[in-house]
Amino acid sequence: MVVSIKVAKQLQHFIAGEFIASEKTFKNISPVDGTLIADVCEADAATVDAAVKAAQAALKGPWGKMGVQERAAVLHKIADGIQARFEDFVAAEVADTGRPLQQARTLDIARGIANFRTFADLAKTANTDLFQSDTADGAGALNYTVRKPLGVVGIISPWNLPLLLFTWKVAPALACGNTVVAKPSEESPSSATLLAEVMRDAGVPPGVFNLIHGFGGNSAGEFLTKHPGIDALTFTGESKTGSTIMKAVADGMKEVSFELGGKNAAVVFADADFDAAVAGVMRSSFTNSGQVCLCSERVYVERAIFPRFVAVLKEKTEALKVGYPDEANVDMGPLISHGHRDKVLSYYKLAEQEGATVVTGGAVPIFGDIRDAGAYVQPTIWTGLPDHARCVTEEIFGPVCHVAPFDSEEEVIARVNDSDYGLACALWTTNLARAHRVAPKIDAGLVWVNTWYLRDLRTPFGGVKQSGLGREGGRYSLDFYSEVVNICIKL
């Protein structure tokens, strides 16, 4: 049984505090069984323009005059609103993505609430700089910093963790006094639409939060990116889309924050806690059907434990329960769409052409029921590919990893770093000195040791190289979503 969705059968834009339909619509299809979830309105350039104008107007309204304490209270009211409709948000997220109910509850919706609360409190408590400066005349000067809103922030968020990543940008943008025009992915419009209802009911002034639906190129995403009224743009998604957006905003010199792709590594040393490392690599390879930018698609295992590690990983992977979102103990749902499944299956095929040994998986599970019309794939493990194989260098974004042996720290660090990406890495070792020695040598924005995807929302989050520009999280978000101004007073 697929979880019943509680959003309207037509998902509309939310502009200046009102839900607005548009002529053109597209279909939101369930990845569990291929049925229609809802028709979704597609914003044209005029609709996007109306949204940006509403956001600009709202800056001059009560929101622009609101102090940080009052603004923080509004963000807590939004969090309260999500909490009050928790199961509606779970149903919306699960309907769009087919993910296990349990994950939607403990990760996606819980983090939607946490993101608003975290940035409400950070905005209230974050200090800025003050320097007492010497001057030639001995009287001195004071240099202090103030943070001011950027203005209208354009937000384009992805389908893999819909509410989590949507609110990871909306919350700090609002906390810093901006207004927003936000476009969720066309693959996951439901929870963002519910959030618009919560914003309205929480009394967020009209025009502060505007929601538009649509696609990227030649659709809402492009119209938003190119709109002259946008003062900054934040995007999470594929690296190639990131560079397209960067070109689009270059003329207007807009501030941009990008959290992009990855081809993350997990490194398991022989001195690791074996069971913890297996469990950790299972999580970092198969969570959310591998559809997390932080997932490990490359696993390096010290040679001494390589055969045993692969054997146990195979056994655990074959024990994973792939099924309906609301099945008891389900571990993995489908991919987001048939289109994305075609991409992942093309890599499953490519791997065999590149000479991979398919330890397990590599195909589509046959359920013999309505799920066969969904977008499921088997969790998959490969070995035997060379480091330069496309399946070992290109982001697949599915439940798959390639496991390779290594012999020394120097060797594995070089192999991990030999990538166009640099988002995250997970190291597994019980040797403290090794952990502190190796972690800083990894070219990535995030390095976990003996864990994966443990998140403290105050920390900087973002990637190096093709994995992104800038950092989100804690005061890093406050700095991105503000103009940081230095004021010098001559005493």
Stretch that binds ligand 6UN, among 134-142, 227-235, 286-294, 353-361 (CB under 6 A): 286-294
Q: Does 168 bind ligand 6UN (CB under 6 A)?
A: yes
Specify the DSSP class assigned to residue 177: T
Catalytic residue of the set 42, 93, 259, 472 = 259
The CB-of-453 to ligand 6UN minimum distance in angstroms stands at 7
Count the residues in the chain.
491
- Nearer of residues 219 and 287 to ligand 6UN, judged by Cβ: 287
Give the whole-angstrom CA distance, residue 6 versus residue 207: 25
- Nearer of residues 48 and 423 to ligand 6UN, judged by Cβ: 423
Q: Does 122 bind ligand 6UN (CB under 6 A)?
A: no
Stretch that binds ligand 6UN, among 140-148, 196-204, 218-226, 290-298 (CB under 6 A): 290-298
Q: Which residues contact 388 (CB under 8 A, 6 or more apart)?
A: none
Stretch that binds ligand 6UN, among 25-33, 122-130, 161-169, 336-344 (CB under 6 A): 161-169
How far is the CA of 100 from the CAs of 37, 195, 322, 394, in angstroms? 17, 21, 9, 27
The CB-of-233 to ligand 6UN minimum distance in angstroms stands at 17
- Nearer of residues 58 and 294 to ligand 6UN, judged by Cβ: 294
Q: Does 452 bind ligand 6UN (CB under 6 A)?
A: no
Nearest in space to 171 (alpha carbons), one of 78, 258, 84, 259: 78
Q: Does 74 bind ligand 6UN (CB under 6 A)?
A: no
Q: Does 28 bind ligand 6UN (CB under 6 A)?
A: no
Residue 275's beta-bridge partner residues? none
Q: Does 171 bind ligand 6UN (CB under 6 A)?
A: no
Specify the DSSP class assigned to residue 108: I
Alpha helices (H) along 251-403: 274-286, 306-318, 338-353, 390-393
How far is the CA of 228 from the CAs of 47, 56, 152, 215, 249, in angstroms? 14, 11, 10, 19, 9
Q: Does 475 bind ligand 6UN (CB under 6 A)?
A: no
Specify the DSSP class assigned to residue 9: S
- Nearer of residues 160 and 190 to ligand 6UN, judged by Cβ: 160
Q: Does 167 bind ligand 6UN (CB under 6 A)?
A: no
Q: Does 461 bind ligand 6UN (CB under 6 A)?
A: yes
The CB-of-89 to ligand 6UN minimum distance in angstroms stands at 17
**What are the backbone angles phi and psi of residue 203, rounded to the nearest 5°?**
80, 20
The CB-of-111 to ligand 6UN minimum distance in angstroms stands at 7
- Nearer of residues 168 and 209 to ligand 6UN, judged by Cβ: 168
Stretch that binds ligand 6UN, among 51-59, 93-101, 221-229, 288-296 (CB under 6 A): 288-296
Which residue is associated with the tokens 């202090």?
A: 144
Q: Does 124 bind ligand 6UN (CB under 6 A)?
A: no
- Nearer of residues 42 and 93 to ligand 6UN, judged by Cβ: 93
Give the whole-angstrom CA distance, residue 224 versus residue 208: 16
- CB environment 92-124: b (16+ within 10 A), e (fewer): bbbbbbbbbbebbbebbbbbbbbbbbbbbebbe
Stretch that binds ligand 6UN, among 28-36, 157-165, 273-281, 332-340 (CB under 6 A): 157-165
Stretch that binds ligand 6UN, among 160-168, 190-198, 349-357, 388-396 (CB under 6 A): 160-168
**What part of residues 291-350 is at the interface with ligand 6UN (CB under 6 A)?**
292-294
The CB-of-318 to ligand 6UN minimum distance in angstroms stands at 26
Specify the DSSP class assigned to residue 430: S
C-alpha torsion 432→437→442→445, nearest 10: 70
Cβ neighbours, 10 Å, residue 326: 15
Cβ neighbours, 10 Å, residue 31: 28
259 is catalytic: yes
- Nearer of residues 306 and 461 to ligand 6UN, judged by Cβ: 461
Nearest residue (beta carbon) to ligand 6UN: 293
Q: Does 173 bind ligand 6UN (CB under 6 A)?
A: no
The CB-of-451 to ligand 6UN minimum distance in angstroms stands at 13
Tell me the HSE value of 427 on the side-chain side, using a 13 A CA sphere: 25
Angle between helices 162-175 and 68-84 (to 10 degrees): 160
Q: Does 455 bind ligand 6UN (CB under 6 A)?
A: yes
Q: Does 160 bind ligand 6UN (CB under 6 A)?
A: yes
Q: What are the percentages of helix, strand and coil residues in the chain, rounded to 5?
A: 40, 20, 35
Query: Residues 161, 171, 256, 335: which binds ligand 6UN (CB under 6 A)?
Result: 161
Angle between helices 162-175 and 190-201 (to 10 degrees): 40
Please identify every residue annotated as catalytic.
Answer: 259
Q: Which residues bind ligand 6UN (CB under 6 A)?
A: 160-161, 165, 168, 292-294, 455, 461
